[in-house]
Amino acid sequence: MNPMPGPSPLRLALDLGPLLIFFVAYQYLGIYGATAVFVPAVVIALAIGYLRERKLSPMPTFTAVIVVVFGGLTILLKNDAFIKLKPTILYGLFGSALLGGLAFNQLFIKRLFGTVFDLTEVGWRKLTWRWGAFFLCLAVLNVVVWRNFSEAFWVFFHVWAFMAFVFLFALAQTPLVLKHENSPQPDADSKS
């Protein structure tokens, strides 16, 4: 089994930094001020990632577009429903893309993680089903929290709970990944 490489500290900072900035800014500036800080933070993180890797990764790019659109609408129209709806749209689209891809025999998750894992076709399909359903559940959960709890609770939940859920869900997939990992093929030299 190949050891799974962890994300670099810079990649982790680029992925999580804007969310943490949003959380801190909310404490001092409220929802509109935090959104006004969050939008450029996401764009800056995407630009730094591009300068470092010389490519735009699909998920951070798509996330940045959604943040810019929904964050921009929040600020422009002074309506916080847009920024609160952003996670539902984002997770809903991720889940729909993964599950919809299966209908056309496309394993988008394999394209994203194929350099990290070497799974059987069955393993990739099961992982796709699980992540697709998980993202759709997060989309619904965001609406439940947004509609039934205070704005401060939603901000806390959006940053800390969703981050924890994603981490724990990914960790829970370890048995599936280990069970469906392709066995390494012996080298031709080692056979002789």
Give me the domain span that covers residue 109: 9-182
pLDDT confidence of residue 134: 97
Q: Of residues 29 and 187, which shows the higher confidence score?
A: 29
Give the helix ranges, DSSP H, for 54-120.
Answer: 58-77, 81-103, 108-113
Q: Given pLDDT bands bounded at 50, 70 and 90, which one contains residue 3?
A: very low
For the chain, what is the radius of gyration of the CA atoms? 19
Contacts from 34-37 at CB under 8 Å and sequence distance 24+? 34/155, 35/71, 35/74, 35/75, 35/80, 35/83, 36/71, 36/75
Predicted local confidence at residue 1, as pLDDT: 40
Residue 107 lies in a domain: yes
The answer to whether residue 156 is domain-embedded is: yes
Q: Is residue 191 part of a domain?
A: no
Predicted pLDDT of residue 41: 96
Q: How far is CA 140 from CA 12, 55, 80, 81, 103, in A?
A: 26, 32, 18, 15, 22
How large is the average pLDDT for residues 76-83? 96
Q: Confirm whether 38 is domain-assigned.
A: yes
Question: Is 86 inside any structural domain?
Answer: yes
> Average pLDDT for residues 76-89, to the nearest whole number?
96
Domain assignment of residue 132, yes or no: yes
Which has more pLDDT, 121 or 26?
Answer: 26
Q: What is the pLDDT of residue 175?
A: 95
Quote the pLDDT of residue 2.
Answer: 42
**What global pTM score does this model have?**
0.84
* Predicted local confidence at residue 188, as pLDDT: 47
Summarised one tens digit per residue, pLDDT across range 122-157 is: 999 999 999 999 999 999 999 999 999 999 999 999
Mean pLDDT along residues 83-110? 92
Domain count for the chain = 1
Kindly give the residue spans of alpha helices, DSSP state H, lying in the chain. Answer: 9-53, 58-77, 81-103, 108-113, 121-148, 151-156, 162-172, 174-179, 188-191
Candidates 119, 121, 105, 137; CA nearest to 173 is 119
**Residue 19 within any structural domain of the chain:** yes
pLDDT computed for residue 105 by the predictor: 87
3: in domain: no
Given this model, what pLDDT does residue 192 score?
A: 44
Cα-based angle 129, 147, 40 (whole degrees, multiple of 5): 75
DSSP 120: -
Kindly report the backbone phi and psi dihedral angles of residue 84, in degrees, each rounded to the nearest multiple of 5, phi listed first: -75, -25
